[in-house]
Structure 1
Amino acid sequence: MDINNCIPKDKFDTAAIEQACQMGFPALNPFLSDLLKWVQDVNWPVAANTAALLSNAGPEILPYIKAILRSEDGAGKFWTIDLVVRNSNPDVLLGLRSELVRLANSPTQNDQREDVAAIAQNILTKKVFNSE
Structure 2
Amino acid sequence: MFDAESLVPRDKHDITALSAIESAGYPAIAPILDDLLAWTADGNWPIARPLARFLVTLGTPIVDPLLRVLRGKDSSQKYFCFQLIVEKLSVEVLRALENDLQRLVDRPSKTDQLEGVDELAREALQRLHS
Output the aligned Cα RMSD. Answer: 1.7
Question: Which one-letter code corresponds to 2:129 in the other structure?
Answer: N
Normalised TM-score (structure 2): 0.90
Question: Which one-letter code corresponds to 1:71 in the other structure?
Answer: G
Displacement after TM superposition at 1:18 (Å) = 2.2
Cα distance per residue 1:71-94 (max 9 Å; x no partner): 111000111122111112333201
Cα distance in 2 for residues equivalent to 1:106 and 1:124: 15
Cα distance in 1 for residues equivalent to 2:91 and 2:73: 26
Displacement after TM superposition at 1:2 (Å) = 6.3
Cα distance in 1 for residues equivalent to 2:124 and 2:7: 29
Superposition pairs for residues 50-61 of structure 1, below 5 Å? 50-61=51-62
Unaligned runs of 5+ in 1: none
Q: Which residue of 1 aligns with 2:92?
A: 91
Question: Which one-letter code corresponds to 2:55 in the other structure?
Answer: L
Corresponding position: 1:78 with 2:79: yes
Q: Is the 8 A contact 1:40 1:79 kept in 2?
A: yes
Cα distance in 1 for residues equivalent to 2:91 and 2:25: 19
Cα distance per residue 1:13-43 (max 9 Å; x no partner): 0000122122222222221111000011011
Q: Which residue of 2 aligns with 1:17?
A: 18
Displacement after TM superposition at 1:4 (Å) = 4.1
Q: Which residue of 2 aligns with 1:111?
A: 112
Q: Which residue of 2 aligns with 1:66?
A: 67
Cα distance in 1 for residues equivalent to 2:31 and 2:4: 10
Question: Which one-letter code corresponds to 2:22 in the other structure?
Answer: C
Cα distance in 2 for residues equivalent to 1:85 and 1:26: 21
In the comparison of the two structures, how many residue pairs are matched? 129
